[in-house]
Amino acid sequence: HRRFALAFQSGLEKIGFKILPPKGIRANTVSTVLYPSGIEDLTFREKLYENGILVSAGKGVLAGKLFRIGHMGNITENEVVATMSIIEKTLSEFNYDFELGSGIGAAEKVLFAK
């Protein structure tokens, strides 16, 4: 679980998301991800869902500001990379300014490091 968590977190940070809590005390089973400016929560989550990715919304005072993504159970490297690809595709639909493929590359560096 730790390797998948680090892959998701590295990829998401590379494309402008902030991960909560700080490094060192993060869970290995789920990541809490703050949106960068200009990304609307419900639309983002709906677009992910349309592409087969289910993420959870923030709750309480953090509603609309973040999503939570699980990376536990029987998942594979291919699923991590595919999920990052769909997240990048969705960001591009928001005209969000980032280097396409950079999040995928950061995740792959963690997943396939020797």
- The Cβ of residue 34 has, within 10 Å, a number of other Cβ atoms equal to 16
- Structural tokens at position 39: 């990304």
Superfamily of domain 2-107: Aspartate Aminotransferase, domain 1 (3.90.1150.10)
Domain extent listing, the chain: 2-107
Which pLDDT belongs to residue 79?
96
The 10s digit of each residue's pLDDT in 11-62 is 999 999 999 999 889 999 999 999 999 999 999 999 999 999 999 999 999 9
105 CB contacts (<8 Å, ≥6 apart)?
11, 14
User: pTM (2 decimals)?
Assistant: 0.93
